[in-house]
Chain A
Amino acid sequence: MLKRVPAMLLALLLATGLAWAQAEDPPPVAADSEETLSVEESEIAIDTAVSPGDGMIAPSNIVVSDWPNDAGDALLVTFDPGSETGNDNFIGYTIYRRVQGTEEFEMVGFVELDEGTSFTDGYDPDFIVEPGVQYEYMVAATYFSGAEVSSEATAAQEVAIGQLYHSGKTRVLLGCVVFLGLILFYFYAAQRGVEMYLRPIAGIEAIDEAIGRATEMGKPILYVPGLSTISDVATIASITILGRVAKKVAEYGTPLLVPNRDPIVYTIAEETVKQGYMEAGRPDAFDKDSVFFLTQSQFAFVAGVNGIMMREKPATNFYLGMFWAESLILAETGSLSGAIQIAGTDAVTQLPFFITTCDYTLIGEELYAASAYLGREPKQLGSIKGQDACKGIIMAIITLGLLLSLTDLIAGTETLVWLKNIITMPVVD
């Protein structure tokens, strides 16, 4: 094998060299281009002291309107431009504002010439717009030399008012209503005793098997509930699964290790594990030191957990919750220690690492579904069916869109324009 290495390297270099030789040469660079640029730059530098010309006219027709869908903290100022927009020294418009009845104007913003003739007042935290306050505005055409040609002071036609409904979120509201309706429908269907089929998920079915393996080997189980806080839904889903795992572990009498990164998650995890032991009828078997806080520092936490893996050699590792860059370091170390590993996260960027290094991976939504699968409570199952129904609706819309797009492409029609307009309209935050 070693003898082949130089030959392989040579072949690689040869292929690279051939490809390099075949590559087109870059087009020649014009020799005088740099010189031309420098001449232009010097001309601009000389011109900077020029004052406004004779034909200067101040901006006019200032119109102030309330910014829609906000907390009453922004106003939109529009105006007609001055007449010297072709002058190189004319750089833009300075916006001045004062509360009506006061003397002094203050500068609240600057609009460069290529940014149009409108300005949103209130975005700058140094110059906040108070709701219900009557302002006056003045716009000054501004030159590079600092000279300004100001408009008349104009009282704002509208005052800033906060809205009670965000009209840009109507589609989100409709989606929520449909989703909520479907979830509640399946909740009640499950309560009435309607039989619901759930497709088997290998990762969830392997949880019991993994606990059993650790019990047989007489080694502990390591459960990492992610590195995020309790406000992350993935952490809550993980804590729910931890409750089920703790109950099983208590029944089998297997040691459990739960290191935590977040102190609030630690307190909840401790209570959850304790409850699991109580449900299993073995509260005395609960070891307070089995659930512990390690550190809030991301890589220090990883170092701590990796140390536990290498020293304690757990037979089963669970990584369920939210993970970031540390996911691969954790899972690869676990893999090297010979443990069976079950991971689950909704972090799309970390999923490939878990899939590569773990025996089973709960992908995205499967993490949220796991507690329902394990508990088999009717309402929990109902929520999963509700999710599936929503996904069915989305799939139907995508399929319809695909068919209509193909029809448009073949027939040269535009049946999808209205749908495209709805979808591409941004949801304003």
Chain B
Amino acid sequence: MKRTVPLAIVMVGGILFMIQYFIPHQYSQTLFNYYTEWAPIVGAFALVLGVGSLTRLHSHKIKRKAKNWQYSYAVLIPLFGIPFFALIMPQNLGGGMMESMGGDRLTQGVFDFAYMNIQVPIQATMFSLLAFYIASAAFRAFRAKSALATVLLFSAIIVMLGQVPIGELLGKWFPKVGLWILRYPNLGAKRAIGLGVGFGVLATQLKIIFGVERNWLGGAGE
């Protein structure tokens, strides 16, 4: 029962939505919209499980005084503190989710302050690190260790110089050859990968619909 019911739901749902793709009728669209509206609601309930997992993990760490257990407080305090200020605390005591008008000037709540002054800069910093990582990864990728790596190195130099004004100054052919590399060999390879991915996705979906692939059921799969 634990295995048959989910498999039956997936099989019926999978075949139904496969057919739905070819039916533009309003009833078919209503069914599709109804389903897509439900999916995020299920996700919202699952978030509670996620928060539960994070709380359990870090409270265990604190309880056991595991290695680096002090950092767990840095997770748990904002995890519950920020929603407390955003949802429960009254606005005149720093609560609320948005900036609020206090007399003739805007006052910033704890949630807004933490979001704008801590979370946003930290996220921007993480994203900015990508530039340094790209530089180090490029250094490693473009080492001419073999014939193919050398081809990659020269292709990369031409494409990169073709994208910037200095390339055109060094030689009028740089942008043209760079564009040719992007449009033909590169696009061909991308399409070949895309084609394989498309078939792979279809085959996996069919395996799930026909019950060949059952690992997504977790413990009930076997």
Chain A residues at the B interface, C-beta cutoff of 8 Å = 15-16, 19-20, 23, 69-73, 131, 162-166, 169, 172-173, 176, 179-180, 183, 187, 229-231, 233, 236-237, 239-240, 242-243, 260, 262-264, 266-268, 270-272, 274-275, 278-279, 288-289, 291-300, 302-303, 311, 325, 328-329, 332, 346, 348, 351-353, 355-357, 363-365, 367-369, 371, 377, 379-380, 383-384, 386-387, 390-391, 394
Whether B215 pairs with A364 at a CB distance below 8 angstroms is: no
- Name the one of B25, B43, B169, B193 contacting A264, with C-beta atoms under 8 angstroms: B43
Whether A329 pairs with B126 at a CB distance below 8 angstroms is: yes
Whether A294 pairs with B197 at a CB distance below 8 angstroms is: no
Is B184 an interface position by the 8 A CB rule? Answer: no
Whether A365 pairs with B196 at a CB distance below 8 angstroms is: yes
Question: Given that A328-B134, A371-B213 are known contacts, is A390 also in contact with B54, CB under 8 Å in the complex?
Answer: no
Q: Which of B16-24, B80-88, B96-104, B106-114 faces chain A?
A: B16-24
Residues of B contacting A180 with CB < 8 Å? 206
Question: Given that A263-B43, A356-B137 are known contacts, is A233 also in contact with B212, CB under 8 Å in the complex?
Answer: no
Number of A-B contacts (CB under 8 A): 216
Question: Given that A19-B169, A263-B47, A289-B56 are known contacts, is A384 also in contact with B203, CB under 8 Å in the complex?
Answer: yes
A-B CB contact pairs (8 Å), 16 listed: A163-B24, A172-B21, A187-B210, A233-B200, A236-B213, A262-B46, A262-B50, A271-B218, A348-B197, A356-B141, A364-B200, A380-B207, A383-B203, A383-B206, A387-B196, A391-B195
Whether B196 pairs with A364 at a CB distance below 8 angstroms is: yes
For the complex, what is the distance from the CA of A298 to the CA of B119, rounded to whole Å?
12
A380 closest partner in B (C-beta): B212
Whether B50 pairs with A365 at a CB distance below 8 angstroms is: no
Whether A325 pairs with B216 at a CB distance below 8 angstroms is: no
Whether B127 pairs with A70 at a CB distance below 8 angstroms is: no
Q: Least Cβ distance of A269 to chain B in Å?
A: 8
Whether A272 pairs with B134 at a CB distance below 8 angstroms is: no
Residues of A contacting B170 with CB < 8 Å? 15-16, 19
Q: Least Cβ distance of B195 to chain A in Å?
A: 6
Residues of A contacting B39 with CB < 8 Å? 231
Chain B residues at the A interface, C-beta cutoff of 8 Å = 18, 21-29, 39, 42-43, 46-51, 53-54, 56-57, 60, 67-68, 119, 122-123, 126-127, 129-130, 133-134, 136-138, 140-141, 166, 169-171, 190, 193-197, 199-208, 210, 212-213, 215-222
For the complex, what is the distance from the CA of A364 to the CA of B198, rounded to whole Å?
9
For the complex, what is the distance from the CA of A369 to the CA of B199, rounded to whole Å?
11
Residues of B contacting A394 with CB < 8 Å? 195
Whether A268 pairs with B200 at a CB distance below 8 angstroms is: no
Residues of B contacting A20 with CB < 8 Å? 169
